[in-house]
Amino acid sequence: MIGLQAGLHIVLHFAVPALVARAAFREAFWKCWAVMTGVMVVDLDHLLANPVFDPDRCSIGFHPLHTVLAIGAYGLLAILPDSRLLRWAGIGLLIHMGLDGVDCLVQGG
């Protein structure tokens, strides 16, 4: 059974991109939201860990696609001027990392 905190975390990974897409990219809401939530495939790097899921482990800094270097690359994607899709992907990845970071703080580590 999924815990309340984990359930809220998952819901936020869909709700926060929806709020951002609605506020900043209203004319392309559905496309923007789809890209921003689609980048959740970044969590496939969790499959490299043993155990795959540890409720007490902070993703930030542990998984390869959740490192400071990766987050910096996501920030660069978010400011690319010539590609809306890459910009949306970067924003979605930054939202994802931010939510994972908040989860780490709530866990106490």
Domain that holds residue 72: 4-107
Whether residue 1 has pLDDT greater than 60: no
Q: 3-state class of 84 per DSSP? A: helix
The rounded radius of gyration (Å) of the Cα atoms in the chain is 14
Q: What is the pLDDT of residue 5?
A: 79
Q: 3-state class of 81 per DSSP? A: coil
Confidence of residue 78 (pLDDT cuts 50, 70, 90): very high
Rounded Cα–Cα distance for residues 14 and 17 (Å):
6
pTM for this prediction: 0.93
Rounded Cα–Cα distance for residues 50 and 48 (Å):
7
- For the record, the structure tokens of 16 come out as 């926060």
Q: Is the Cβ–Cβ distance between 109 and 57 less than 8 Å? A: no
Which is more confidently placed, 105 or 53? 105
pLDDT in tens, 9-57: 899 999 999 999 999 999 999 999 999 999 999 999 999 999 888 878 9
If one counts the domains in the chain, the total is: 1
Residue 51 CB partners (closer than 8 Å, separation 6+) = none
Whether residue 61 has pLDDT greater than 70: yes
- Stretch 62-68: mean pLDDT, rounded? 97
Q: Is the Cβ–Cβ distance between 57 and 46 less than 8 Å? A: no
Burial of 98 (0-12, 13-18, 19+ CB in 10 A): middle
